[in-house]
């Protein structure tokens, strides 16, 4: 079994490796796709819980409020994690956990009655409960990635404003594209379950692409060339 020091690119334990804190290539693309995925989930949330609680102002209020709460908590936790250990391996893990949490939406979608609140509860609490159970965790996990992307992109305090502004702008543009694309095209063309699967696969791909495993592999490929030289 590999020692923790050799497995840092899979599980971020042990002493930090300098390769793990190298900046991402195209960080704005990661922010764009991550936040876009979140807004896609938010827009289909109403359709997921509609069979149990119906579609109403209460439903959308609960969904929007729960997702915003998840983003807020995720941003706060993600900021703390990013300051304590800025690492591509942690970003990769955050994307992976977000992908798994998105898959859980499909599990809940098939068993809504088993997780729904009692009909004796007021309608407001029924929709808030269901939205929280299904969508709060994915919102928290996706909300955690942007602070880490920003942290990994900061090479100088002199450029903090530009870096934060650029990545936040990319994230919000991703959210706008996700909303319009889902509302106008994706739901009618593919349906809820296919969209959720696509979101999970997208987040999983981001987990793979952000992993420092590529840096390790590249370094090992270059060693034989140096030895030959």
**Residue 15 pLDDT:** 76
Could you count the other beta carbons within 10 Å of the beta carbon of residue 2?
A: 9
Of 43, 68, 42, 208, the C-alpha closest to 140 is 68
| Residue partners of 3: CB distance under 8 A and separation at least 6 | 14
**Residue 44 pLDDT:** 93
**Residue 2 pLDDT:** 42
Which residue has tokens 């994307």?
95
pLDDT digits (tens, 9 = 90+) for 160-174: 899 999 999 999 999
CA dihedral for 56, 58, 61, 62, sign (positive or negative): negative
Query: Token digits for 100?
Result: 């798994």
Q: Angle CA(72)–CA(78)–CA(81) in degrees, nearest 5?
A: 150
Query: Token digits for 84?
Result: 């304590």
Segments in 85-212 forming alpha helices (H): 88-109, 112-115, 123-143, 145-153, 160-181, 187-190, 192-210
Of 162, 171, 153, 154, the C-alpha closest to 75 is 171
CB 117 within 8 A of CB 184: no
**Residue 77 pLDDT:** 98
Burial 189-220 (b: 16+ CB within 10 A, else e): eeebeebbeebbebbbebbebbbbeebbeeee
CA distances from 195 to 42, 142, 175, 209, 225 (A): 12, 16, 15, 21, 44
SS3 198: helix
* 224/229 Cα distance (integer angstroms): 9
Q: Which residues of the chain have pLDDT under 70?
A: 1-11, 13, 156-158, 214-229
Of 61, 36, 34, the C-alpha closest to 46 is 61
Query: Phi/psi class of residue 154: alpha, beta or left (left: φ > 0; alpha: ψ in -120 to 50)?
Result: beta
**Residue 4 pLDDT:** 45
């Amino acid at each position: 079994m590999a020692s923790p020091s050799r497995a840092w690119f899979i599980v971020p334990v042990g002493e930090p490796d300098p390769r793990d804190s190298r900046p991402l290539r195209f960080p704005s693309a990661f922010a764009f796709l991550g936040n876009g995925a979140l807004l896609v989930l938010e827009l289909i949330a109403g359709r997921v819980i509609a069979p149990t609680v119906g579609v109403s102002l209460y439903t959308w209020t609960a969904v929007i409020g729960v997702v915003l709460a998840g983003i807020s908590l995720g941003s706060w936790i993600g900021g703390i994690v990013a300051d304590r250990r800025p690492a591509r391996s942690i970003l990769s893990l955050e994307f992976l956990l977000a992908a798994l949490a998105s898959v859980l939406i499909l599990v809940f979608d098939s068993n809504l009655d088993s997780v729904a609140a009692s009909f004796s509860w007021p309608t407001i609490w029924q929709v808030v409960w269901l939205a929280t159970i299904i969508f709060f965790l994915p919102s928290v996990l996706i909300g955690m990635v942007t602070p880490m992307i920003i942290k990994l992109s900061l090479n100088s305090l002199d450029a903090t404003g530009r870096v934060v502004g650029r990545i936040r702008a990319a994230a919000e543009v991703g959210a706008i594209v996700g909303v319009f694309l889902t509302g106008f095209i994706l739901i009618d063309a593919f349906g809820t379950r296919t969209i959720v699967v696509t979101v999970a696969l997208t987040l999983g791909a981001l987990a793979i692409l952000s992993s420092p495993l590529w840096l390790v592999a590249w370094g090992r490929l270059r060693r034989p060339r140096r030895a030959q030289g």
